[in-house]
Amino acid sequence: MPTTTVRQPEAPAIEPGSGTGSPKTRILGIACLVGVVVLFVFAFFLTEEDQVQGDVVRMIYVHVPVAIIEYFGFGIAAVGSVMVLWRGSMWWDTAAVAGAELGLLYSGLMIGTGVIWGRPTWNTWWEWGDARLMTSLMLFLVYLGYLAYRRTVPDAETRARRSAVIALVGIINVPIVNRSVEWWANQTLHQQSSLSDGRLEDLTLFTLAMGFVVFGMIFVWLLIHRFRFGWLERQAEMHGLEAALAERRAQRDADIDESLAHPGVSEGDDMRGGDDMGGSDDMAAGSGDVGEAADGAGQQSGDQA
């Protein structure tokens, strides 16, 4: 599988062990906290209740933004998956996982707030035959499976390729979820799009727009941190592999020294040494020297016999 090197986004250097933050993400994080407070004030104290739904309509300021922004998470996962299959880019694999995990988080919150909102509005928590609810649940489960599957495959490149296929299958469901209230209008309790029907006005519309901004900023902040965590996780994985190889090389060198120092080793020990040399060819620089030493050890052993 071809691999590509992608120049990483620039950010100020920080000390290892200090986490995935940087000065810019800290500023963004503070802006997110301020945004949540302002959104809360607008949603609960400045906007009016709905004539039909009453105060429960204030759920719209969290439910609709997380529902729309989840699509961006799954979209990032899909784009990253295309790049993984096309270019073999592990950078994009890291981005795809970050997008999928955040899409899954927002999807779960959309379903959760929808369930809570549905009880006072529809007089039911859940309807198994509802087109919007079921397609949303399917989308959630597909990406839950995507993340679960990744935990079962140890090899990074195989994991990236196979999970990319799952992500691309899952993204097909996004337009189906979004259009389900129109395609199956008589099979859903869910109302038509709140944004496209033009019934939202003035402060309600402004507060909803603010909800998009605030939860969008939170999404970006989480995405940056999740990507950096994934990047570090991959580096730690590679570092662990290199450490294991170095340990194996050291053990092999010690075995060779031992066999040279004590030529009268048993035939079984000699065979074991030969196996080690054969397995080291593709992973160790300077393995030719080791092979020669092993040949020498084998020759000495043969002389003994």
Asked if 92 is part of the footprint of another protein (rule: CB under 8 A), the reply reads no
**Please, what is the minimum distance in Å from the beta carbon of residue 101 to another protein?**
9
Asked if 282 is part of the footprint of another protein (rule: CB under 8 A), the reply reads no
Asked if 109 is part of the footprint of another protein (rule: CB under 8 A), the reply reads yes
Asked if 243 is part of the footprint of another protein (rule: CB under 8 A), the reply reads no
- How many residues bind another protein (CB under 8 A)? The answer is 50
Residue range at the interface with another protein (CB under 8 A); choices 68-76, 220-228, 246-254, 293-301? 220-228
Asked if 16 is part of the footprint of another protein (rule: CB under 8 A), the reply reads yes
Choose, by CB under 8 A, the member of 38, 56, 82, 137 that binds another protein. Answer: 56
Choose, by CB under 8 A, the member of 72, 75, 79, 108 that binds another protein. Answer: 108
Asked if 274 is part of the footprint of another protein (rule: CB under 8 A), the reply reads no
Choose, by CB under 8 A, the member of 126, 149, 184, 231 that binds another protein. Answer: 231
Choose, by CB under 8 A, the member of 31, 36, 144, 209 that binds another protein. Answer: 36
Question: DSSP per residue over the chain, as a string?
Answer: ------PPPP-----TTS-S--HHHHHHHHHHHHHHHHHHHIIIIISPPBTTTBGGGGGHHHHHHHHHHHHHHHHHHHHHHHHHHHH--HHHHHHHHHHHHHHHHHHHHHHHHHHHHHHHHHS-S--TT-HHHHHHHHHHHHHHHHHHHHTT--SHHHHHHHHHHHHHHHHTHHHHHHHHHHHTGGG--SPSPTTTT----HHHHHHHHHHHHHHHHHHHHHHHHHHHHHHHHHHHHHHHHHHHHHHHHHHHHHHHHHHHH-----HHHHHHHHHHHHHHTTT-TTHHHHHHHHHHHHHHHHHH-
Mask: binding to another protein, 170-209, rule CB under 8 A, as x and -?
----------------------------------------
71 versus 117: smaller Cβ distance to another protein? 117
Other beta carbons within 10 Å of 229: 16
Choose, by CB under 8 A, the member of 132, 159, 190, 225 that binds another protein. Answer: 225
Dist. CA 205–CA 195, nearest whole Å: 9
Residue 63 to residues 137, 151, 190, 212, 215: CA-CA distances in angstroms? Answer: 15, 30, 13, 10, 10
Dist. CA 35–CA 30, nearest whole Å: 8
**Please, what is the minimum distance in Å from the beta carbon of residue 119 to another protein?**
7
**Please, what is the minimum distance in Å from the beta carbon of residue 224 to another protein?**
9
Asked if 117 is part of the footprint of another protein (rule: CB under 8 A), the reply reads yes
Choose, by CB under 8 A, the member of 13, 52, 261, 285 that binds another protein. Answer: 13
Choose, by CB under 8 A, the member of 4, 48, 120, 283 that binds another protein. Answer: 120
Asked if 54 is part of the footprint of another protein (rule: CB under 8 A), the reply reads yes
Strand partners, 279: none
Q: Which residues bind another protein (CB under 8 A)?
A: 8-22, 36, 40, 44, 49, 54-56, 58-59, 62-63, 66, 105, 108-109, 112-113, 116-117, 119-120, 218, 221-222, 225-229, 231-233, 235-236, 239
